[in-house]
Amino acid sequence: MSRAPDTWILTADCPSVLGTVDAVTRYLFEQGCYVTEHHSFDDRLSSRFFIRVEFRQPDGFDEASFRAGLAERGESFGMIFELTPPNYRPKVVIMVSKADHCLNDLLYRQRINQLSMDVVAVISNHPDLEPLARWHDIPYYHFPLDPNDKPAQEARVMKVIEDTGAELVVLARYMQVLSPELCRKLDGKAINIHHSLLPGFKGAKPYHQAYNKGVKLVGATAHYINNDLDEGPIIAQGVEAVDHSHYPEDLIAKGRDIEGLTLARAVGYHIERRVFLNANRTVVL
């Protein structure tokens, strides 16, 4: 579901306490705000409550006053909230290596405004995809990786992220493992995509390995990065059935399609403020 362009987004979470839904919805009613979308979830295992509301503001709406009043109302619940204004477009940096399918898909969806974001830079450890970024009039930074001095390369990456004011980093088939330090700096604001094959195939040519085992499912997983390789909190997954007639090149082609769609879905959830981190898991509303 896409966000309406004229609505505010209110997201909040707090311990599971009686009256949490009422605290939010009654406040919106009292402020004359019209709710257009509402989702909430109470996690009985972690005893934590999550809520996301889209609403239209009344005439004379004052953001500062609204924030102050909600902070006061939510204080007794231990509520943490964020308020996102209409037409807000977060700045995004995309990191790539040589594969172009995910980058091309994200830039296309930005161009047609399916993803309401502004890609402010593309960073790569290879020069191959610079023409694609330049065609979209997006700065391209080629930072080759010296295996003997990885911190220097990552420092250049982090400088671009900081200088552009990017709120989200998307690893669109960036085929390098990030250091623990960079993972820590990007905690909760960097999304990675990778193939999902059962059983798991690691190393070179995973789709060829999958073909040799006769896999029947091909998929992809989009997740927030952390220091555990490809094991961060999952945001979205996609899967399609395959059979004996799919040769390795067919599996690779299907994998590309699923990766592009799954990554775009995860990025969309993030920029629409639908994803909440809940320990090592996510809640997607």
- Residues with a catalytic annotation lie at 230
The 8 Å CB, 24+ separation contacts for 100-104 are 100/128, 100/129, 100/132, 101/173, 101/256, 101/259, 101/260, 102/172, 102/173, 102/193, 102/259, 102/260, 102/263, 103/129, 103/132, 103/133, 103/172, 103/173, 104/132, 104/260
How far are the Cα atoms of 92, 170, 216, 265 from residue 262, in angstroms, in the given order?
17, 12, 19, 5
CA dihedral angle for residue 78, residue 43, residue 115, residue 25, rounded to 10 degrees: -50
- Check residue 31 and report its DSSP letter: T
Q: What is the distance between the alpha carbons of residues 172 and 264, in angstroms, rounded to a whole number?
A: 10
> How many whole angstroms separate alpha carbon 187 and alpha carbon 166?
13
Helices (H), the chain: 20-30, 63-74, 101-111, 130-135, 150-164, 180-185, 206-213, 248-271
In Å, how far from its chain's centre is CA 37? 21
Query: How far is Cα of residue 14 from the mean position of the Cα atoms in its chain?
Result: 22
